[in-house]
């Protein structure tokens, strides 16, 4: 349940970053999540392609690593986008 809120925040943040930086597509994005998070690369990719389709597609590289971040937190370590 809590990871669904985190997922919503990730999607909102990605959309904000794309709008703020005039990206029309994300090529690569890398996240760090808490070690106890249920968010995995396939799970996140599936949701991003579905719910952030204006910026994420099947060619986008999505990386998820577990690390030392607070619970219910995702840190964007890297994002590469194509400008409009």
CATH assignment at residue 56: 3.30.2320.50
Annotate the chain with three-state secondary structure. CHHHHHHHHHHHHHHHHHHHCCEEEEEEEEEEEECCCCCCHHHHHHHHHHHCCCCCCCCCEEEEEEECCCCCCEEEEEEEEEEC
- How many domains does the chain contain in total? 1
**pLDDT for the residue 33:** 96
**pLDDT for the residue 84:** 80
Domain membership of residue 28 as a residue range:
2-83
**pLDDT for the residue 71:** 92
**pLDDT for the residue 3:** 82
**pLDDT for the residue 4:** 87
User: Which tens digit of pLDDT belongs to each residue from 14-66?
Assistant: 999 999 999 999 999 999 999 999 999 999 999 999 999 999 999 999 999 99
């Amino acid at each position: 349940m809590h990871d669904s809120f985190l997922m919503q925040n990730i999607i909102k943040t990605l959309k904000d970053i794309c709008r703020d930086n005039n990206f029309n597509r994300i090529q690569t994005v890398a996240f760090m999540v808490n070690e106890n998070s249920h968010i995995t690369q396939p799970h996140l990719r599936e949701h991003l392609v579905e719910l952030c389709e204006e910026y994420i597609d099947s060619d986008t590289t999505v990386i998820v690593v577990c690390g030392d971040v607070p619970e219910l937190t995702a840190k964007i370590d890297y994002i590469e986008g194509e400008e409009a």
